[in-house]
Amino acid sequence: MSSLSHNMSFEEPLLQLERIIANIEKVMVGKRRPVELVLTSLLCGGHVLLEDVPGVGKTILVKALAKTVDAGFKRIQFTPDLLPSDVTGVSVYNRGLSSFQFRPGPLFTNIVLADELNRTSPKTQAALLEAMEERHVTVDGETYPLPRPFLILATQNPLDHAGTYQLPEAQLDRFFMRIRLGYPERGHEVEMMGRMQEVSPLDTLKPVLLKEELQLLQRQVRHVHVDESLKEYMVELASATRKHKDAMLGASPRAVLALMLASQGTAYRKGRSYVVPDDIKDMLEPVLAHRILLTQEARMAGRVSELILRQAAAEVPVPGLRYAPGS
């Protein structure tokens, strides 16, 4: 399938997406919601920030995703002494050719695990900005395109842990979603121990999706219909965050575009060729929460950006669809 019509059948891609989720769940026990969010980001080509305490499975989730998609994968362990050139690459002088040659860094692959991103210096963090936004890097005045698809999945530890640097607002805004895993339920944790007792399921995980198939799915997501009234609804939601008394910085226009694309990805993952209001509400917190900067008073009072979004969702009127494809 190279294009979508509003009344086309989504049975084939829906089954394919379920196979992807089932494959990752061989490793991630009881984490259906985070797995679905990561898959939605993958379909939309958006970078993901996995934020949680150490040991809850952030790195394992990314590795499972990379093994599920038959594409290039590299892991970068971010440390305080890591240099920007260690990430992007460096120009090295070749005596035989009497010229400089570029040696690509670990960013030059399809899926990048940026492990513990907030343990490295702001200078090295900034080296990712161009790659995340433009899908290329510039070294010594020369621009080098990155492979397609290109996806960064970064993990970070909570900021109250030792040796962490806060990610700047400009970098947070480049992350399509922020996802938190949380601790597993008791039964799921016991099941996980049973699965890991003799051999890790990660070692035997096989790909179920080719790189070319992923690119096709990503193109199809863009064709999911978004009614004009829903576009206005998303703008109203973003406007509500900008006007909120607890927000120093509300959702940006880039955030609104991300919300629309995430809603398209959610609808596609559920087998629909059009977005409904519930798709937008479902994506509000993972897409917008990390992009809202609270006032100092709000932070001191213990309030969080998720509360602003829940209030906006409760107060902004939900539009009636003027046009539902296939109805």
Q: What is the pLDDT of residue 327?
A: 46
Separation between Cα atoms, residue 180 and residue 183, nearest integer Å? 10
Residue type (1 letter), 291: R
- pTM of this prediction exceeds 0.85: yes
Please tell me the distance from the alpha carbon of residue 325 to that of residue 327, in angstroms, as a whole number: 6
pLDDT tens for each residue of the chain, 327 residues long: 333 434 444 456 788 899 999 999 888 888 899 999 999 999 999 999 998 877 778 888 989 999 999 888 999 999 889 999 999 999 888 888 778 889 999 999 999 999 989 888 888 888 888 899 899 998 888 899 999 999 999 988 765 555 677 788 888 899 999 998 888 788 887 888 887 777 788 888 999 998 889 999 999 999 999 999 999 999 999 999 999 999 898 999 999 999 999 999 999 999 999 999 999 999 999 999 999 999 899 888 888 999 999 999 999 999 875 545 554
Catalogue all structural domains in the chain, each as residue range(s) with its CATH number: 1-220 (3.40.50.300), 224-316 (1.10.8.80)
- For the four alpha carbons of 117, 122, 124 and 125, in that order, the dihedral sign comes to positive
Distances (CA, A) of 289 to 175, 229, 246, 261, 321: 11, 23, 13, 16, 26
